Amino acid sequence: MYQANEIVKIAGVENYIEDWEALYNIGKRYIVKWKTIHCLHYSQNAGYYATKVYTSDGNMTQRGRHFMMTAESVNNLIGREHFIAA
C-alpha cells in the first residue's frame, strides 16, 4: 500500500509513513491541532487515517502547529477522562 519514505497527509499533517507507524505503535494516537483533536487509526485495507473526536471552544495549540499525544495526555489537556488508552 505505502512505499518506503512516502509522505502521507493525515488530518492536515504531513509526515513519513514510517513516522506515523512509529507514533501509532508507541501509543501517541491523538493529533492535537488548534481547536481539534483527531484520533489516528490503522486498518489493513485503508492504511493510516484519522477521525475528528473532539472540538474545543478555545485554542489548544497555535494555529498551524500540532502535537502527537497519548490518551492520558489528551485527557489532562481537556481536563476530563474522555479518551481511553488503547
For residue 70, which phi and psi values (nearest 5 degrees)?
A: -85, 170
Q: Are 16 and 3 in contact (CB under 8 A)?
A: no
Instruction: Please classify residue 29 by burial: count the beta carbons closer than 10 Å to its beta carbon, then call 0-12 exposed, 13-18 middle and 19+ buried.
Output: buried
pLDDT value, residue 86? 59
CA dihedral of 7, 3, 23, 25, whole degrees rounded to 10: 170
Domain ranges of the chain: 7-64
Regarding pTM above 0.85, the answer is: yes
Q: Are 11 and 33 in contact (CB under 8 A)?
A: yes
Q: Are 38 and 51 in contact (CB under 8 A)?
A: yes
* Segment-wise mean pLDDT, segments of 10 residues, the chain, 86 residues: 84 96 96 96 95 94 94 90 74
